[in-house]
Amino acid sequence: MTTSRKDAARRIGLLTGGGDCPGLNAVIRAVTKDALGNGIEVVGIEDGFLGLIENRTRTLDAASVSNILHQGGTVLGSSNKANPAKFAVGMNDDGTPKLADMTDVCMKHIEELGLDALIVVGGDGTMTTAAPYCDRGVNCIGVPKTIDNDLWGSDLTFGFLTATQTATDALDRVRTTAASHHRAMVVEVMGRNAGWIALQAGVASGADIILVPEIEFDLDKIAETILHRREHGKKFSVICCSEGARPVGGKQFIERIDLTSPDPIRLGGVGKMVAGEVEKRTAIESRYVVLGHVQRGGTPTAADRVLATRFGHAAMELLRKGERNRLVVMQDYKLTHIGIQEAADKQRLIEPATDPLVAAARCIGTSFGD
């Protein structure tokens, strides 16, 4: 991307929305430093769109983004519950949330703050939430974030590589204890409806079985694989299981439903079920571990810091070029951009029949439980 000064954003808002992930602070730093260096003021909006509803903001200066590049989380805070168009303002008698449309309130705050544009750092939920503001003439520039790597239109989102490394480290650790005790060990990883973390961490750690939402699994086949390994002298097995994986014809395992959240389903529990069934079917002692939010926390890897910095700078370049309502994405290892609304309400899932990593894993003997 090249810089041209034809557009005149002088004051921008910056928010981080949805579930946090490693690398958010690197984006905040890159956007702020780039903006300040080009004479643009940055208003940090606290806790994602919640801060826009409640008018909680603070000016970001050089000092406020100093020494945060390596920090996990987001110094601005985030929320994966606050969609202003359907904001929970109380409870109905039947226990469901009373929803109100706060879009006008947010528009008023955007005008009072004098924002020429909004930089929204988030996943599909955040891009969906940004849509009404684009429609009302606010220039929203999106930066793709999520450990799940499921944002439509981008081959890679920052946060994913760090989460994958964390999951790989955990799988490596589980492997040694599985070997010592001749057990089957199931590690449940995050990812919602996308199996990218399970696939990548499973291959990286040499997991024997990888279960992803995109390929329904058969418990008898999983048991067969484990028994076959035992017959060939391999007394332990490691199963990397995505939280969204499900048995053939079965449903995903839901851990909780939060009706105040735009995406109310929280998955969880499949790892425990798989470990129990494996033990029943093979008589091999089995255990499970749920990695959970460990994958979202901690220091971003070097690759994620670099990617987040590039994404932040690219967002500022789009603003300077006078582009409107675009989302920075990575396609074929290059940064480019798509319409921000193209990514709304969609998920990028593994295509098992054509995915090269699924093919490679199968060829080296990894089972997908199918």
* 8 Å CB contact between 195 and 203: no
Pattern 235-274, binding to ligand F6P, x per CB under 6 A?
--------x----------------------xx-------
What is the nearest approach in angstroms of ligand F6P to the Cβ of residue 77?
13
Q: Is 188 in the site for ligand F6P (CB under 6 A)?
A: no
Q: Are 80 and 263 in contact (CB under 8 A)?
A: yes
Question: DSSP assignment, residue 252?
Answer: P
Taking the complex as a whole, the smallest distance from the CB of residue 162 to ligand F6P amounts, in Å, to 12
- CA distance linking residue 12 with residue 28, whole number of Å: 12
Contact criterion met (CB below 8 Å) for 5 and 316: no
Among 80, 165, 282, 301, binds ligand F6P (CB under 6 A): 80
Q: Which of 296, 305, 326, 337 binds ligand F6P (CB under 6 A)?
A: 296
The CA distance from 221 to 217, in Å, is: 8
148 among known catalytic residues? yes
Q: Which residue has the tokens 């910056």?
A: 14
Structure tokens that stand for 246 in this block: 């499900």
Cα end-to-end distance, the chain, whole Å: 44
CB 352 within 8 A of CB 242: no
Q: Is 183 in the site for ligand F6P (CB under 6 A)?
A: no
From the list 124, 148, 150, 208, the catalytic residue is: 148
Residue nearest ligand F6P by beta-carbon distance? 190
Q: Which of residues 35-64 bind ligand F6P (CB under 6 A)?
A: none
Report the C-alpha gap between 191 and 213 in whole angstroms: 9
- Residue 349 C-beta: closest distance to ligand F6P, Å: 13
Q: Does 192 bind ligand F6P (CB under 6 A)?
A: yes
- Locate 174 and state its tokens: 């589980």
- Of the ranges 127-135, 142-150, 276-284, 355-363, which one interacts with ligand F6P (CB under 6 A)? 142-150
Catalytically annotated residues: 148
For ligand F6P, the binding residues (CB under 6 A) are 19, 80, 146-148, 190-192, 243, 266-267, 296
